[in-house]
Every structure is written in C-alpha cells, then in structure tokens.
Structure 1
C-alpha cells in the first residue's frame, strides 16, 4: 500500500509538473503571433504566391495582414490594401441586399420570382411558377451547374437567364442540392426590378458605403487596371505559373451577384464585424434583427457529394445551407462559411457566431485549400477550444495530405483514361470533312477550321485550341489558354456517313449545313 502511494506520488511529481510547465509555456506565447507564424508556414507549404488573412473577434480586429507577392516574378508585396476576388463569398452580400428589400416591405422571401421577373422561365413551366425568391439563394431549384453560360461564352446577363429555359432539370424542385451560380444572377435581377437600381450600384450604396469599404468594387471591370491587385496563378504540372486570364476574370461580371466583388483586408474586416453583430457597424444597422437571423437560419440540407472533401477530417454531423452561407458543426459549435473560387483566385469567409469570431482568407493560387486549414486553425486558436480532445490541430498538414491524395487519384484516373486509347486508328473521314460550324441554342457555337494541317477549334470566339487525333473520331482539345487543360471532343456521323455532331464535356452541338454556315458564323 505504501509502495503504491509512493509510486503514485512519484508519478505525480514527475509527470504533472511537466504537463503544467508545457501548458504554462504555451500560455505565455501570444496566440496572434503563433497563428501568424502558422500562416507563414502554410503559405510556404502550399506554394501560394500571395495571401491575405483577416481575423476579427468581439468587434475588434485581431489580425489583418498580407503575405507574399501579388504576382510571381514581381516584387510588389501583398498588403492590407491589395484587392483580391471575393468570388462566391459575394453571395452573402447579395442575400443581404434581398433582406434589405424585405425589411422595406418591397418583397417577401417566399414571393414567386415571376411576380418580379415575368420573363423568368425554367425548363419545366410548373417549376417556373413555383420558384420563390428564397429558392434563388439556396441551390435547390433542380437546375444543375450551368456555368458554361458565363464561363465559356460572352453573352449579356439577360441572355444567360433566357437560356435557362433550355436546361433540363437534374433533380426535382427542393428535393436535393446542387450548387448553382445563375440563380444568384436572377436574385440580382430581382433586386434591380424592385429597387430600380442595378445590383452593382445597390450593393455599393447599401453595403460598401455604410461600412466604409472604400476600395471594394462590385465588378471586375472596375479593378482591371488597379495596380495594387493580386494576379491569378495556377499549378500546371507541379509548377505554379501566373495566368493571364483577364478576359476570363471579366466574364464573371455577367453573373455579378454570384461572385464578382473584389475587396481587401482593410475593407472586408468591417463586413465581417457587421455580419457577426446583427448587421450593426459604427452605429449603423443594415438589417432588422429578424431578417439578419433569417440569413443564417438553415434553409436546406447539403448532400455529401456537394460538400467539401474537408468533411473527411472535420467529420460534421450535419451540413446545411443558409441564405448565402454553408453551415456545419465543428467541435460542438455552429460554423457559417462560404468559399469563393475563380480562375487562379480563392477566398473563404468563416464564422463561429457564438464566439463572435470570424476569419477571411484570400489567395492568388487556384483552389489553394489552405484556406480551409487557416479557417479551422483560427477557430482553434481564438475560439478557446481544447484541441487535445479529438480532431486535428494541424489542419494545414492534414489537408495538404488529403488534397494531395485526391490529386493523385485524379492523375490515376487520367492515366486509366489514357490507357484506354486505341492505337493506330484513323479518323473516319479526311480532316477537311470535320471543318465547319457547330451550333446549339444553349451552348452557342464551335467553329472548326484547318490550321497548320490540324483541326483547330474556336468556342464561342472565346476559347481556342488545336484538336489532336486520339482514336477513331475522338480528338483531344489542347486549349491555347493553357490553364484550361485538355478536353475530349467526339465527332459523330449521320446515316449518310457525314459529320453530324460534336460532343464535348456533356455538350452536343449540331453541324450547320455548308450553305447556311456563312450566315450563322456572322451572328
């Protein structure tokens, strides 16, 4: 008995003072400095050229800093005035703008959209009549991804909405969830119709100005010539390269309410504080309390397939979508967040509302998923969690491994596809037979010509590239815009043995008869 007590006392003396000392040492380290060092290491590990991080808590800014450079090969550093794309984190602002009109009694969340946009029409007339304003904001309309309408063509926003009637539904109304940008364009049109003010002007006067967001711009064309602006980058064959995608960056203006805003840490900190504090900022109130609460009320369930791979490690019990916000549980707390992605640019805005804590990350490397790592690490660092109990404390390392594994799986899938190529085949017809104009009311046009002895494609006079023969009547399009990679293009013949259709990425276009080509090509 005495020996047991002596042994226990000795263990207590040897072990617990050691733990206490470690905890004491940790407590003396400034958490902001510790987090700052963590960010710096993550930027190096993920090879991100430039990044901004903003953290606010309890109405105060804890950290607001730029890391790295605006463009590879140039010395200009990222600072707290450097503009980055908000991308889809714009959606929360568009939802807030709708809320302002609700507060003014000019519309209601559950009003039919056709009450304000009489020409609004989806593939199914019944669904068209049933779509409510709320539905435009929560990705449950039954319409799948339709980004081809703005990312692969240059058409006005009204024409984008007009073509929505041609898209067949992917699921029945409100039965599932597929992320959808075009419906936010429709929400912006509702704002314009009800207020008499275009969305970009409305968001400027009703959000940017009251919050003192002086550098924030609603559209890319307003920042295109800005000197202190981050430039996009992509990793191509394991090498990070700057992307000259100015045209593609500008395409998002056609669906501005879904993701066209550009901002910087000095500005976005005010938006973060406002959204944590019942939409209040410096004595101003943007929304009524009930309307602000509605933005963060779970509106629909998010499927596993439509959520982020991070769920494999964070292991949320539930996943929902509010009005412009993804939501899930984390260490027993609710998280509101949203990512943003454009060609070569990323963002994430995350909240722990019960801790009055928010973090906003922007970067200039395509799908640099350290954004998730820095969000969760900020929650751990400043949320007061005991990170020894379950889940990770080094999200950067764990997500780097997770996404690295997904990247390898993607490469393996490519290798498998390549292995299925049938060698030593030829096209059914001479290359000249494939030349011509291919059109579709939804997808636009693809013009195939002969250039330097190869087929050459021009998609909606926007994307271009050579078609290299793969096998049979399948070719592989290598884009001149190298960041778009490669796509298979399959030609099909009619019963007379003539080229009739072109298929690529789920799009099918019909070859225009030669006698009608000239008129069509001029359109």
Structure 2
C-alpha cells in the first residue's frame, strides 16, 4: 500500500510533542519518524536533567529497556538462517543442562516458545532486579521458579527466559550476546551509537538521566544495572540509531541493499504467534498478539508491529506499520510513562489522516485508575496494621531476636533478617534490597520497600513444634496464581 504524506501533517508537531511532554511531567524525550527510507522527523525535547540546560537531541542516549528483545530475536534468526538453530527444536538439544521447574516444559520448550512468551512461567522479576549475579548464575535459578499456568497454554511475559535465549546465542556462536549483536546487527546497520552498559554509554555521549514519580513529583533515581539480563532489556540507543532499526524492519535490507536475513524469515518474526491481550479498553485496538521479539496488533484497521520498553527511570515505544513502511520511535525519561505510546498513536493518526482521538486524555484516565487502585491497596495495608487483635501487640526489642537470621530459597537466594532500632529489616542479599517489616498479626508482617518502586509484600513466619522459627513465606511474585515463595532458615 502506497502512502503519501502531505507536509502539513507534520506542521506544529514539535510544539505539540513538547507540550505533551510537559503535560506528562517528563523532563525530556526524543521522537523519530521514518517513511520507507526517508526520515520525516527527528527531534529532542526538554532536558537531560532537571535544572540543567543540556537539551535533548536525536543523538541523546536512552536505555530502550525491553525493546532490546527484538534484537535478541534477530540474533537467533541469524543462527536459524545459518542452519545452526531451529525455532521449533527443543532447547535441550542445544543446551542439555537447561532446566525449568516443570519437567515437561524442560523437555519440550523451544526458542519459539520463549520468544512469544508461552512458557507458563510468570515474571519473577525480583530474582533479577538489581542482581549482583552473573548471567549464568541467574539462569541456574530458573529451574526453582514455579509456573502459574500450563506450558503453552497462554501468554505470560517473561524476562528471565529472554535472558536464556540470549545465552543460547552465546553457546551456539562462541561470542557474548553483546558482541554478537554489535558485530552481526548494529555495525551492519550503521547503528554506531548503541550500547549495552550504562558505563559505556555515559563515556560515549550525552545520556538522559532516570526519573520516577515519587510522592507526587518527578524524582531522579539511580541507573539500574541490568547487564545480567542484557538480552531481555539492557540496550541503550538513540533516536538516530533506532530509526535505522525501523527502516530495516519494514524494508528488509541493509543500507547497502543486501539482506541481513531472508525476507521469509523476517516476515515470520512479525507474524502473530499467540494472543497476549484478547481485548483492550479501546475499540480501535481490538486485540494484541505476541510475535517473535515483537508484538502485533490492529490499530484503527492498520497492522502495527511494536515493542514497548520500561525500565527504572525510562520508557520507550518502538513501532512500525509494515504495509505503509512507516515507523515511529519515542524514547523518554520517567518509567511507566504513557507519553511514548500516546504520542505514537497521535502521530500515526496525523500521518494516516485519521480522525483525531484524545489519546493523552484516555491514557491519563488509565493512570488515574491505577493510582486509585494503588492508594486502595496502601489503605488496606494500613488497616491491616491498625486492626491487629488485642492479644497481638507490636514486638518488643527482645522479641525481635526469634526472627533474626539467614533464610534461603534456591531461586531467590539468601535473605537476612535483623533487628535495627525499633523494627525488623529484611535484606535480599543478591539484589541489595532492604525491606522494613511491619507486624500485622502473630508471626505475620508486611515487607515494605520504597527506595525506587513501592512494594508491599505479605510475609508470614513458620514455626516448628517447639515454637521455633524455621522459615517464612512471602508473596514475591504478584501474578494472581503464583504461590508464596518459601524460604528455609539456614
């Protein structure tokens, strides 16, 4: 389908995008639009850091978070092209030591299963968040994480298994995943300003600073070190480079006109594999499917291939309409921001000459609904503390000692609980996270973490016949059907 874009459809876009950025409370963002091989728009808005004058440009670096997954899928596609890998042969044939909790899934899971998120395993993000473990050490823990749905039954997003997919690239190629992506993909596309480590990006050029909403205002937070799960979300790039990635996706060839992979294989990566959202709140988007390293949906009658990215301090949205050879990338600060997706939809509406929709208003209603739900959860948390039975009084200092000690789960690692001043604290040693424990009933507490994300996790201690503490159980995985994670006292 040929698309002709009238110049006036981009009129005042810069002004509109900057106003939208301010309306969402985002310090800075960058936007790129490409049609076929022509860059229609490329600009940055706002500032890299609040209170400083350094502005955003198309060259400003941003962590792209889970948009990295499309590069991991392409890495595997290159191995498929060379005959070293088959999407549908069980992973164990290439990696005999690989294990999942479910023995049937262990024997049958394939690369295709991993890339479209149908393993049955929920996120278990607290296993890898801020971890000090290596990639290999992290993947050894996957076999101790329980699934919540049957293998291949339905969609369930998973970062750890994308890390395993990247590690498979390493095993088959003899190169690190990072070097493979750089040598086999980035260099060939001329993406010379994309990186895998925050330290490298900070030395290479201007990088946006991470921000989160905390206590009703945008607050700078530390960069998250997620190198261990690199294939799932560690890449750092800029609008200039991501435009080259989108151009390749809809044209199917490198800048010199040569293919990177066969057209049939590239098309297969863009095909729906599994319904991820059978319905959405908006009639213009009737459903969403997972593909191989991408998602696919119908947007107002047009086929859209996309991947969002969200990481501590940042949000991205990378998308293209293959029939129109039209792509948009929006990179922004502030994690879990709706700015990138709202801007993307409104720009597509402009370029396709569709009746305008108030996507910013719609998505702000979503945010308000989520904030209300979180506030209700917080109030329930406070009520749990205030409604302790008369015989359950807050612990005295000497009573804290019975809970102090070191606890272990083979997937989540070692946790220490210690008495500090007038409270108990729980430290997840492999993640360097500290939770404050607040008593709600006998042997029952809420573990609260508020340094970056706000986590309120119910926790209950178990005793033996003599009343000694032998372990505890905590709802560390929030998926609805997930069991409590049980730690044993060491």
Query: Could you say which residue in structure 2 is the equivalent of 1:288?
Result: 262
SS in 2 for 1:313: coil
Distance 1:78 1:312, change over 3 A: same
- Whether 1:262 aligns to 2:236 is yes
Whole-angstrom CA distance in 1 between matches of 2:69 and 2:363? 25
Query: Could you say which residue in structure 1 is the equivalent of 2:32?
Result: 54
SS in 2 for 1:160: helix
Query: How much has 1:124 moved relative to structure 2?
Result: 2.3
Asked if structure 1 preserves the Cα contact closer than 8 Å seen for 2:189 and 2:254, the reply is no
Query: Could you say which residue in structure 2 is the equivalent of 1:207?
Result: 185
Range with greater deviation from structure 2 (315-324 or 252-261): 315-324
State TM-score, norm by structure 1: 0.85
- Whether 1:426 aligns to 2:396 is no
Distance 1:52 1:484, change over 3 A: same
Query: Could you say which residue in structure 1 is the equivalent of 2:49?
Result: 71
- Whether 1:111 aligns to 2:93 is no
Whole-angstrom CA distance in 2 between matches of 1:428 and 1:483? 27
Q: For structure 2, list consecutive stretches of 5 or more residues without a partner in the other structure.
A: 477-483
SS in 2 for 1:153: coil
Query: Could you say which residue in structure 2 is the equivalent of 1:312?
Result: 281
User: Cα RMSD over matched residues?
Assistant: 2.2
Query: Could you say which residue in structure 2 is the equivalent of 1:15?
Result: none
Whole-angstrom CA distance in 1 between matches of 2:51 and 2:416? 36
Task: Give 1:404's match in structure 2, choosing from 360, 364, 368.
Answer: 368
Whole-angstrom CA distance in 2 between matches of 1:137 and 1:320? 12
Render the CA deviation track for 1:184-231: whole Å, top value 9, x for unaligned.
Answer: 112112211222211100100111111111110123342255551111
- Whether 1:297 aligns to 2:271 is yes
- Whether 1:381 aligns to 2:350 is yes
Query: Could you say which residue in structure 1 is the equivalent of 2:481?
Result: none
Asked if structure 1 preserves the Cα contact closer than 8 Å seen for 2:445 and 2:460, the reply is yes
Asked if structure 1 preserves the Cα contact closer than 8 Å seen for 2:246 and 2:319, the reply is no
SS in 2 for 1:298: coil
Distance 1:62 1:327, change over 3 A: same
Whole-angstrom CA distance in 2 between matches of 1:426 and 1:507? 26
Query: How much has 1:257 moved relative to structure 2?
Result: 0.8
Query: How much has 1:417 moved relative to structure 2?
Result: 3.6
Render the CA deviation track for 1:8-36: whole Å, top value 9, x for unaligned.
Answer: xxxxxxxxxxxxxxxxxxx9983223332
Query: Could you say which residue in structure 2 is the equivalent of 1:497?
Result: 467
Query: Could you say which residue in structure 2 is the equivalent of 1:467?
Result: 437
SS in 2 for 1:433: coil
Distance 1:406 1:479, change over 3 A: closer
Whole-angstrom CA distance in 2 between matches of 1:467 and 1:227? 42
Distance 1:253 1:479, change over 3 A: same
Paired residues, number: 472
- Whether 1:237 aligns to 2:237 is no
- Whether 1:479 aligns to 2:449 is yes
Asked if structure 1 preserves the Cα contact closer than 8 Å seen for 2:404 and 2:419, the reply is yes
SS in 1 for 2:12: helix
- Whether 1:253 aligns to 2:227 is yes
Query: Could you say which residue in structure 2 is the equivalent of 1:508?
Result: 486
Render the CA deviation track for 1:278-311: whole Å, top value 9, x for unaligned.
Answer: 243342321111111111011112144xx8xxx3
Query: How much has 1:490 moved relative to structure 2?
Result: 3.0
Query: Could you say which residue in structure 1 is the equivalent of 2:136?
Result: 158
Whole-angstrom CA distance in 2 between matches of 1:47 and 1:340? 18
SS in 2 for 1:42: helix
Distance 1:145 1:215, change over 3 A: same
Query: How much has 1:254 moved relative to structure 2?
Result: 0.7
SS in 2 for 1:367: coil
Query: How much has 1:174 moved relative to structure 2?
Result: 1.2
Range with greater deviation from structure 2 (73-82 or 83-92): 73-82
Give the greater-gyration-radius structure (CA): 1
Task: Give 1:372's match in structure 2, choosing from 332, 336, 341.
Answer: 341
Query: Could you say which residue in structure 2 is the equivalent of 1:8?
Result: none
Query: Could you say which residue in structure 1 is the equivalent of 2:405?
Result: 436
Instruction: Name the structure where helix makes up a greater proportion of residues.
Output: 1
Q: For structure 1, list consecutive stretches of 5 or more residues without a partner in the other structure.
A: 1-26, 513-523
Whole-angstrom CA distance in 1 between matches of 2:203 and 2:445? 38
State TM-score, norm by structure 2: 0.91
Whole-angstrom CA distance in 2 between matches of 1:159 and 1:298? 32
Query: How much has 1:148 moved relative to structure 2?
Result: 2.3
Task: Give 2:423's match in structure 1, choosing from 445, 450, 454.
Answer: 454
Render the CA deviation track for 1:64-122: whole Å, top value 9, x for unaligned.
Answer: 11111112233321112111011110111111111111111222211221121111111
Asked if structure 2 preserves the Cα contact closer than 8 Å seen for 1:345 and 1:363, the reply is yes
